[in-house]
Amino acid sequence: MIPQNTNATLIHQFLEVADRLRQIGDKVGKQEGITTQQWVILLHLAGDDNMTYLQNNKQEKPLMAKELAEALHTSRANITNLVNVLIGKKLVIQVADNLDRRRKRLRLSSEGSKVVRRLEKHRNQYNDWLLTGFDEKEKLHIIKFMKSFMTTFDQPFGKKSKGARPKKA
């Protein structure tokens, strides 16, 4: 028997939340014929300021597939497959980079923009439902915790810089 461990329980809870959010995303996205991963790509291409990657990497040009791979923490091959499906559905278009025509940048098509707008209503409804009971201060505290937690992934395993975690309030 494996004894209960707070760290293991917390990580398992994160995994369960992520899985449930993906299930909701797939259910909502199914209305438009897309998966959660495809929806997240559309949100990045739409310039959604709620996306962590876009908060940390201001974009002046449309994203490239390699930037989407970085944003979604996945392989370039996986992004290429997902993007090709979205191109096939006419939700995304490729455009040549102004400086290097060999580079392809990705933009939402007009239909892709419409899909994002239609899904935004459902996204907001689910988010409101999921976060009912949390006041603004609590939500901001959770965001602060998650940002601090995410900095751990940028450090070598087994090493933590001092002061990486905010002091308890």
Q: What are 57-72's pLDDT values in tens digits?
A: 988 889 999 999 999 9
Q: Which residue has the higher pLDDT, 148 or 99?
A: 148
Query: What average pLDDT does this structure show over 126-149?
Result: 95
Cα–Cα distance measured from residue 31 to residue 85, given in angstroms and rounded to the nearest whole number: 16
Q: Is the pLDDT of residue 82 over 50?
A: yes
Higher pLDDT, 162 or 73: 73
How confident is the model over 104-132, as pLDDT tens digits? 999 999 999 999 999 999 999 999 999 99
Q: What is the pTM of this model?
A: 0.86
- Confidence label for 153 from pLDDT (cuts 50, 70 and 90): confident
Structural domain for 121, as ranges: 10-153
**What is the mean predicted confidence (pLDDT) over 66-81?**
95
In a domain, 2, yes or no: no
Is residue 130 in a domain? yes
Q: Quick one: average pLDDT of 66-87?
A: 96
**Domain assignment present for 107:** yes
What CA–CA distances, in Å, run from 38 to 2, 25, 78, 169? 37, 10, 11, 38
Residue 163: pLDDT above 60? no
Which of 132, 38, 39, 127 is CA-nearest to residue 85?
Answer: 38
Number of domains in the chain: 1
Q: What is the pLDDT of residue 169?
A: 47
Average pLDDT of the chain to the nearest whole number: 91
Looking at residue 167, its pLDDT comes to: 52
First-to-last CA distance in the chain?
35
Q: Is 164's pLDDT higher than 60?
A: no
DSSP-derived secondary structure letter, 59: -
Residue 113 inside a domain? The answer is: yes
Residue 166 is assigned to a structural domain of this protein: no
| CATH code (residue 82) | 1.10.10.10
| Token pair for 37 | 């991963």
For residue 53, being part of any structural domain is answered with yes
